[in-house]
Amino acid sequence: MTTAANPSTLPVLSPEEHAHCGRVAALVRERIVAAGGSIGFDEYLQLVLYAPGLGYYSAGSVKFGAAGDFVTAPELSPLFGRCVAQQCAQVLAETGGSILEFGAGTGRMAADVLQRLGSLGVLPERYRILEVSADLAARQRACLAALPAPLATRVEWLTSLPQGHRGVVLANEVLDALPFQRFVWRDGAVYELVVGVDERGTFRAREQRAGGALRAEVERIRAELPEPWPEDYVSELSPAIGPWMASLSGLLESGVILLFDYGLPRTHYYHPERARGTLRCHFRHRAHDDPFLHPGMQDVTAWVDFTRVAEAAVAGGLELAGFTTQAGFLLGCGIETLLQESADIAEHVRLAGEAQRLLLPGEMGESFKAMALARGVDAPLAGFSLQDLSASL
């Protein structure tokens, strides 16, 4: 997602939005009291992002696009979904089967992928969507119902993981939306940053000695890094990535999992100079770092440690088939050729501007990455043919 970094000018909430935040905050306070004074940051995120009817992704705020809080690549331009479709076509030609998309947002990417695959004559048997937010699933249904019937009828929504899957799995900006933990390294020890409340009911980050799993994982990561961390080093760790990748590797019979997100290989993610971590909040196109502001009305994310993703996938028996920047992936999939296809001058100019934002290093081109994890697919993947950074993981 992209937003301008300008924390000093955050827009104010309407009375209704303010009341909504109050309800979300009351739920969080209730959990904190029930837990004896604090909850993990991951539990806090689970509530403020996904509590049914209340969390940021579960309630009805706009979120995506100009009227929302941030812009994702599929929302920015149809070129993104068309390039993804080029990669899907290559895999589907080898494996057949279906596409399974996680966290489809407004349904924009699904629509662009299906339209392109339709014009290439390589449609998947089904286009399945697994979405945790009932509100977003309703928006996806409205968006995809507008497709021509031969495309729209292939789309189905799942409420749980399928038993097995052959073909392609897609997830754009889903890994960064999984709840994560925060920690601080000090005096040779790991402290978890948990969430408590002060006497005025305001949420506060509190430190407590990290328990077994978090401490062991942070110590393992630290021991593998080439340079030591400075005192008071703060960062994040996403324990949900391991089980999520394990369930994906468990269901993939043959095909490719394509993951897109902003993130880094581990040595860069946990670099000593990144001493305040990667947590980022998005509200009305402003980025800032206060996760307790407007609970339920803003997105709270962290960058993805792609080494963790690859480790979990390989542990599940998948092959790392490629890792590159978003620009590398889109160029490998032929974005320049796709751009030339538009005959209409005005459309061409618009798409060229969008392509720049997708590709330029200062925009989404470099901070966003693409990763492919495969089972039983032999052909080298087009999206990773120009640049493969797998060795950096």
Ligand X SMILES: C[S@@+](CC[C@H](N)C(=O)[O-])C[C@H]1O[C@@H](n2cnc3c(N)ncnc32)[C@H](O)[C@@H]1O
Residue labelled with tokens 């997830």: 171
Residue of minimal Cβ distance to ligand X: 103
The single residue listed with the structure tokens 């009375």 is: 15
165: β partners: 252
- Applying CB under 6 A, does 132 fall inside the site for ligand X? yes
Among 40, 55, 68, 74, binds ligand X (CB under 6 A): 74
Stretch of residues binding ligand X (CB under 6 A), selected from 87-95, 100-108, 218-226, 360-368: 100-108
388 binding ligand X? (CB under 6 A): no
| Contact of 351 with 383, CB cutoff 8 Å | no
Count of residues near ligand X by CB under 6 A: 19
- Residue 176 CB, shortest distance to ligand X, in Å, is 7
Residues 6+ apart with CB under 8 A from 121: none
Query: CB of 191: closest distance to ligand X in angstroms?
Result: 27
CB of residue 175 to ligand X, shortest distance in Å: 9
d(CA 386, CA 239): 32
Extract the runs of DSSP E, i.e. beta strands, from the chain.
Answer: 39-40, 98-102, 127-130, 155-158, 165-172, 181-186, 189-197, 203-209, 233-237, 252-264, 280-283, 286-288, 299-301, 304-305, 319-325, 368-375
- Does residue 173 bind ligand X (CB under 6 A)? yes
- With CB under 6 A as the contact rule, the residue among 68, 81, 105, 295 that binds ligand X is 105
**Min separation Cβ 104 and ligand X, Å:** 6
By CB under 6 A, the residues from 176 to 195 that bind ligand X are 177-178
What's the maximum distance between 2 C-alpha atoms anywhere in the chain? 64
CB of 327 vs ligand X, minimal distance in Å = 17
Residues numbered 9-68 forming contacts with ligand X, rule: CB under 6 A: 57, 64
Structure tokens at 381: 């993947």
- Interface ranges with ligand X (CB under 6 A): 57, 64, 72, 74-75, 102-105, 130-133, 136, 172-174, 177-178
